[in-house]
Amino acid sequence: MGKTAALILAAGKSLRMQQAVPKQFMIVKGKPLFIYSVEAYLNEVDLTVVVTNEDAVGDTKQMLEEAGLDGLVPVISGGEERYDSSYQGILYVEKMGGFDTVMIHDAARAFITADVIAEARRMAESQGTAVAAVPLKDTVKVADEKGRVLDTPDRRTLYAVQTPQAFSLSLIKEAYRRFFEAREKDPSLTVTDDASVVERFTDHEVMLTAGSYGNVKITTAEDLKWL
């Protein structure tokens, strides 16, 4: 079995957070938020890489050094959008050589556990894909722009998707290659997560694995109260 790498995506601008510091760099109990994700993956994979904004690479390296992780975690620059950062990380892992599987994780999900990581890694190594998810607790309504309810989907078929999202390195690289090729023809084309790229641009099945209701993504100012 080949090695597994983890990409910690920490390049977001946190516009919805409305804070002076991007959420991934906010200090929580003495250390930046993204450090919690890095520490969780270090014991579960063979390589952990932080992908951040080009102008934040230096500061990110300094924060890792202050956390005692100097030299253990490479830091690379991502891109304008989340999918750009994922792809840059994928190319970096490929260049390193020897890796068969890549796990992609949002730095804002600081409460990720070893169990969730290990389960996703096992699934990706055997099936080529693995997306952490939890069944929805709430009933969901589909509505139009005026707020009129159009449909009530069966809750038993609905899941809230999280990260990690893990893939065969060759599969996710090819999926992204096709995605960017399609974007050249239609610049409005976009995706909101990595699994969507595999779903839309390959015939490979995307498999769900057990996430955690505690694997919360810190996104808005309201989330800070929960944090």
* Architecture per CATH, 3-222: Alpha-Beta Complex (3.90)
**In the block, which residue shows the tokens 């949002």?**
106
φ, ψ for residue 71 (rounded to 5)? Answer: 85, -10
**Which pLDDT score, from 0 to 100, does residue 60 have?**
95
* Collapsed DSSP state (helix, strand, coil) of residue 176: helix
**Burial per residue of 3-20, b for 16 or more beta-carbon CB atoms within 10 angstroms, e otherwise:** bbbbbbbbbbebeebeee
- Positive or negative CA dihedral for 147, 149, 153, 154? positive
Closest C-alpha to 54, from 85, 83, 31: 85
**Which pLDDT score, from 0 to 100, does residue 19 have?**
58
Tokens of 105: 């994780």
- Could you report the per-residue pLDDT of 170-205, keeping only the tens digit for each? 999 999 999 999 999 999 999 999 999 999 999 999
- Positive or negative CA dihedral for 22, 28, 31, 34? negative
Question: Chunked in runs of 10, what are the mean pLDDT values of the chain (227 residues)?
Answer: 92 59 85 95 96 94 94 94 96 96 96 97 97 96 96 95 98 98 95 96 98 91 75
Q: What is the pTM of this model?
A: 0.93
φ, ψ for residue 164 (rounded to 5)? Answer: -75, 150
φ, ψ for residue 92 (rounded to 5)? Answer: -65, -45
**Which pLDDT score, from 0 to 100, does residue 54 have?**
92
Burial status of residue 174 (CB atoms within 10 A of its CB: 0-12, 13-18, 19 or more): middle
Strand (E) or helix (H) holding 31: strand 31-32
Burial status of residue 219 (CB atoms within 10 A of its CB: 0-12, 13-18, 19 or more): middle
**Which pLDDT score, from 0 to 100, does residue 22 have?**
78
